Amino acid sequence: MVNDFAATGLASGRNDYRIIPTVVPTIQNPDLRRALAERIRYYNELGIYDFYRREGKSETIEAEPPVLTSEDPREEMPARKSAIAPKPADASVLEVLTPTAEQTVTDPVAALKLIREDLGDCTRCKLHQQGRKQIVFGVGNPHADLMFVGEGPGADEDAQGEPFVGRAGQLLNNMIKAMGIRREDVYIANVVKCRPPGNRTPERDECDTCSPFLMRQIAAIKPKVIVALGAVAAKNMLAINAPMSELRGRFYDFMPSGARSSDPAWQGAKLAVTYHPAFLLRDPRQKGEAWKDLQMVMKYLGLKPPPKPAE
């Protein structure tokens, strides 16, 4: 099936990436490993399952990031080292997640409002002092079945306070339209909510600091499907270190880490990965591949492309 969005692409092809094998991070110290397992078991017995890592020095083994050669490093940025990177087993080894305000409300509109209030005039990471004009929280239908997540705001988004409003946003709008729905039907957000200077890739600490708010947005909206746009979003959400060619083409079961929905019936979302629209603008040959990703999502959601207008 070809539509206007896909038809604008040339013959699809794959980037030729060369990956030098990485070292998988592990906890080498057996005492530390044992102490950590005991601590987790103890909290599990109390009925506590959600944990997150506190920033600071750690004895965990550092993994070498993969060395990649690519025409587009953004599409192949190294993933975070591990979804779980435990610290030594002292009293602060694990921080128990306390309930957040939005968990007390079931209405996603009210929940998103509470999350936005909690974010405030955020200064939690260094992006707040690197030239941002405003925080770009997210936009769209709080009841959406489908969410798109990019990496961070660019200049247009920073100026307008809304994600995906520049040229890449126009292409994303076309992609959404090609799926037979409207931009207003979906929810759009980013991993970081402040513009990295010069549109650089957001750094690991910035993503780690800001992404809990994205996780809370996802838990509030409870989408059926999330589409991660580009390698930065995909690798931050999935904590998988793999090239785009391997990340794409399948669904992942996704539950936002560290955030719980107020609806116990919501069992998480399916997450699909596709190319960032900005990347597709630079390499339109990949539009056909992106369209395949979107078709997979459409099939899952029962969406049909809009009928072609009569000639």
Nearest alpha-carbon partner for 114 in 259, 227, 264, 237: 259
On the 0-12 / 13-18 / 19+ scale of CB atoms within 10 A, 150 is: buried
CA atoms within 13 A on the CB side of 260: 17
Contact call for residue 233 and ligand SF4 (CB under 6 A): no
Query: Which stretches of 97-206 are assigned E, i.e. beta strand?
Result: 139-140, 146-150, 187-190
| Residue nearer to ligand SF4 on the CB measure, 53 or 287 | 53
Say whether residue 204 binds ligand SF4 (CB under 6 A): no
Comparing CB distances to ligand SF4, the nearer of 113 and 224 is 113
3-state secondary structure of 296: helix
Task: List the structure tokens of 285.
Answer: 């040959």
Only segment of 108-116, 206-214, 231-239, 267-275 that touches ligand SF4 (CB under 6 A): 206-214
Looking at residues 56 to 115 of the shown chain, list those that interact with ligand SF4 (rule: CB under 6 A).
none
Closest to 117 measured CA to CA, from 223, 264, 222, 216: 216
Site string for ligand SF4, 170-199 (x = CB under 6 A): ----------------------xxx-----
- Of 125, 221, 226, 273, which lies in the binding site for ligand SF4, with binding defined by CB under 6 A? 125
How far apart are CB 108 and ligand SF4 at their closest, in Å? Answer: 20
236 binds ligand SF4 (CB under 6 A): no
Candidates 210, 214, 227, 290; binder of ligand SF4 (CB under 6 A) is 210
- Minimum gap (Å) between residue 38 Cβ and ligand SF4: 33
Contact (CB, 8 A) for 6 and 66 = no
Q: In which region does residue 280 sit, left (phi positive, over 0), alpha (psi from -120 to 50) or beta (all else)?
A: alpha
Q: Is 232 in the site for ligand SF4 (CB under 6 A)?
A: no
- Regarding 116 and contact with ligand SF4 (CB under 6 A), the answer is no
Closer Cβ to ligand SF4, 28 or 123, answer by number:
123
Q: Do residues 210 and 124 lie in contact, with contact meaning Cβ atoms separated by under 8 Å? A: yes
Three-state DSSP at 110 gives: helix
Q: How far is the CB of 196 from ligand SF4 (least distance, A)?
A: 8
Binding site for ligand SF4 (CB under 6 A): 119, 122-125, 127-128, 135, 192-194, 206, 209-210
